[in-house]
Amino acid sequence: MMTKNEYIESLRKLKLKVYFKGELIENPVDHPMIRPSMNSVAKTYELAEKEEYRDIMTAISNLTGKRINRFCHLHQSTDDLVKKVKMQRLMGQQTAACFQRCVGMDAFNAIYSTTYEMDQALGTEYHKRFVEYMKYVQDNDLTVDGAMTDPKGDRGLAPSKQEDPDMYLHIVEVRPDGIVVRGAKAHQTGAINSHEHLIMPTVAMKEDDKDYAVSFACPSDAEGIFMVYGRQSCDTRKLEPGADIDLGNSQFGGHEALVVFDNVFIPNERVFMCKEYQFAGMMVERFAGYHRQSYGGCKVGVGDVLIGAAALAADYNGVPKASHIKDKLIEMMHLNETLYACGIACSSEGEKMPAGNYQINLLLANVCKQNVTRMPYEIARLAEDIAGGLMVTMPSEQDFKDEKIGPYVKKYLKGAVGVSTENRLRILRLIENITLGTAAVGYRTESMHGAGSPQAQRIMISRQGNLAAKKELAKVIAKIDESQNRQ
């Protein structure tokens, strides 16, 4: 496994093409806008080195028998699925941000089981290729950007019916030694901090869409790939000299990027689906299930930090004993633990797939994510309520530290007796960061749209809720004789 420092140095060796505000970034690793998000990924390597986290952060590979980072693992039991959620909660607690390796981990498991069943049905060799790729990823402890979401263009049209065919990433040429692809993947979490991109189709497809049914892996700096860094609320604060207090979370963060594939060649050994449209839906559904499980861990960990920050804000405001404050904190904890319970439940109810790895209970995973589209918003609202209006009206760090203005800021923004003004401002800025600032991308808004927007989960709940069986249960209890309906 790589160490934290080895991971950072491995990124320096990549020749990434990253654009931000119209300019090519020469050194993404040390760019002040990107570095906090890279620190979050580095934490996954740092914790894996610590003995106290060995059981939760690492696992034994079923492919090589070696100990590997759990983010590179193919789940071998329901215990693995549960530990995944516990690991994600730990990471959220440690970073209060998105740590970006979950998407790749979820893609590994979805593609592993889907390619196995593709090979069984079609006589292809995609699973064999993917197993070799997974050995490469595990042996080198790589961070992989699992990439599913296409720009989609006109949502009312299928991939093959789009006015611009590049609105969905697609195969433009099939060669004896590989394929050429063109298009883009949008909203890509941690793309700039990843060694590789692992591509999947984004929707179920019909025969007319077969050119869009493609899955493959490629290095992040492959010829023809470039990335456009996504803006975040309050992001330019990171560019201010000496910025610290105003950032709220100065060490960690997350990011999203638009990843463009401009006629990229992919060799055959890295192609895991090539026009097998009938299996696109299976891959999408399985990945979505794994990723919806993930939110029962990562969002809960960040929620733990936000709840703690709200409680500190109450202390620093001098109102920790107020009954309504206590009740709001209890409600925040209740909502947060409900999300965690869903993540653990869908993991505990997992099942072994034909390929040998374990998949979560899809129904409960979708219930988990449906709750995540709602509860973090209420947790954030309650945190903002407890924090008070100063969270969004306080002067800047420069004013606080100014020789002339600073004493007045310290005097008039002081809260509870015995608490420094600086500490009060710091905790309010942290709440602002998680609920409104750069971390809101990985907590608030991503809770709504990450791993599919709310309607996507409702569709899956409808499919998997087995309403017909529930009707039969009611008929038995009510002693209903259906033959009476025909009289």
Q: Which of 141, 443, 190 is nearest to 298 (CA)?
A: 443
CA distance 102 to 106: 6
Look up the CATH number of the domain holding residue 340.
1.20.140.10
Does 358 fall in a domain?
Answer: yes
- Residue numbers of the domain that contains 353: 283-465
Same domain, 346 and 256: no
309 sits in the region (left: phi over 0; alpha: psi -120 to 50; else beta) called: alpha
Last residue of a domain, one of 219, 252, 278: 278
Look up the CATH number of the domain holding residue 51.
2.40.110.10
Same domain, 155 and 296: no
Same domain, 74 and 147: yes
Same domain, 235 and 313: no
Does 147 fall in a domain?
Answer: yes
Does 294 fall in a domain?
Answer: yes
Does 471 fall in a domain?
Answer: no
Tell me which H or E stretch contains 375. Answer: helix 375-387
Does 487 fall in a domain?
Answer: no
CA distance 111 to 120: 14
DSSP string, 443-484: IIIHHHHTTS-HHHHHHHHHHHS-HHHHHHHHHHHHT--GGG
Q: What is the pLDDT of residues 346-384, one digit of tens each?
A: 999 999 999 999 999 999 999 999 999 999 999 999 999
Q: Are 178 and 129 in contact (CB under 8 A)?
A: no
Same domain, 262 and 308: no
- State the pLDDT at residue 442: 83
Last residue of a domain, one of 278, 307, 330: 278
Positions in the chain short of pLDDT 50: none
Residues in the chain: 487
- State the pLDDT at residue 487: 64
Same domain, 33 and 108: yes
- State the pLDDT at residue 60: 98
Same domain, 76 and 193: yes
Give me the active site residues, please: 98, 102, 189, 256, 291, 295, 298, 446
Same domain, 266 and 310: no
Same domain, 292 and 439: yes
CA distance 233 to 441: 8
Same domain, 215 and 93: yes
Does 403 fall in a domain?
Answer: yes
Does 208 fall in a domain?
Answer: yes
Neighbour tally for 146: CB within 10 Å: 29
Instruction: Please state the domain count of the chain.
Output: 2
Q: What is the pLDDT of residues 86-121, one digit of tens each?
A: 999 999 999 999 999 999 999 999 999 999 999 999
Q: Token pair for residue 194?
A: 């990843």
Does 185 fall in a domain?
Answer: yes
Same domain, 162 and 298: no
Determine the angle formed by the axes of helices 280-317 and 421-435, rounding to 10 degrees: 160
Q: Which of 326, 432, 446 is nearest to 389 (CA)?
A: 432
Same domain, 322 and 255: no
Q: Are 63 and 138 in contact (CB under 8 A)?
A: yes
- State the pLDDT at residue 484: 83
Q: What is the pLDDT of residues 126-183, one digit of tens each?
A: 999 999 999 999 999 999 999 999 999 999 999 999 999 999 999 999 999 999 999 9
Q: Are 245 and 398 in contact (CB under 8 A)?
A: no
Last residue of a domain, one of 215, 247, 278: 278
